[in-house]
Chain A
Amino acid sequence: EPEVTQTPSHQVTQMGQEVILRCVPISNHLYFYWYRQILGQKVEFLVSFYNNEISEKSEIFDDQFSVERPDGSNFTLKIRSTKLEDSAMYFCASSEAGAETQYFGPGTRLLVL
């Protein structure tokens, strides 16, 4: 069964460094999403992406964040200058066009020191 994959599974970085989190969505899906979950808190929407454009973003998704589909399979989230409060589990998700169900990857646990 096709699934969303994410790399790396864990990343430790120093405050102020740039990180790129990678996702491979399900191949026939056209909509892509990033969510994050700070430890012990709820899952929060960051951004959605369709047709090489951001379709929706939350107030969390400020200028420090960017997303890109660099090729036909990968979908990336870049955090330019990480802060301590960016420490969280980051989930990528994808969905078919016209579908309500989103399929989530296993997540990348980011720790900013």
Chain B
Amino acid sequence: SQQGEEDPQALSIQEGENATMNCSYKTSINNLQWYRQNSGRGLVHLILIRSNEREKHSGRLRVTLDTSKKSSSLLITASRAADTASYFCATGPPNGANSKLTFGKGITLSVRP
């Protein structure tokens, strides 16, 4: 199994609904980050949570981290059509900063207007 596996692979919701995406990982981490990728475009950093944190908020985003279960979830509240994109979790290794990120395969989120 791979580091950084997201589920579901695809999610379709109505505008205004909340979207919850999950990520599991296998090895010890220093941090977990979520990125967004619009179709054919670059990766945009959304939020980072460190291994000693349990929950963080940023605007309509809420991320949780459970290191005992090696899992994280990203919640987007009050979704908008513009949130349609692929979402990736990426883990940073225990040695901390400036290290390679290991990405999952991503979740395709479609928000219907």
Write the residues of chain A forming the contact surface with B, with a CB cutoff of 8 angstroms.
31, 33, 35, 41-45, 48, 50, 55-56, 58, 89, 91, 93, 95, 97-107, 109
Contact = CB atoms under 8 A, between A and B. Distances in A.
B42 A104 contact: yes
A42 B105 contact: yes
Interface of B: 2, 4, 30-31, 33, 35, 40-45, 48, 50, 88, 90, 92, 96-106
Contacts of A100: 30-31, 33, 48, 50, 92, 96-98
A52 B72 CA distance: 35
B45 to A, nearest CB: 6
Contact of A58 (B35, B100, B103): B100
Given A43-B43, A43-B88, A105-B42, A98 B97 contact: yes
A93 to B, nearest CB: 8
A98 to B, nearest CB: 5
Contact of B104 (A35, A42, A101): A42
A107 B42 CA distance: 6
B50 to A, nearest CB: 8
The 9 closest A-B CB pairs, nearest first, are: A106-B42, A104-B43, A45-B100, A43-B103, A31-B98, A42-B105, A100-B31, A98-B97, A42-B103
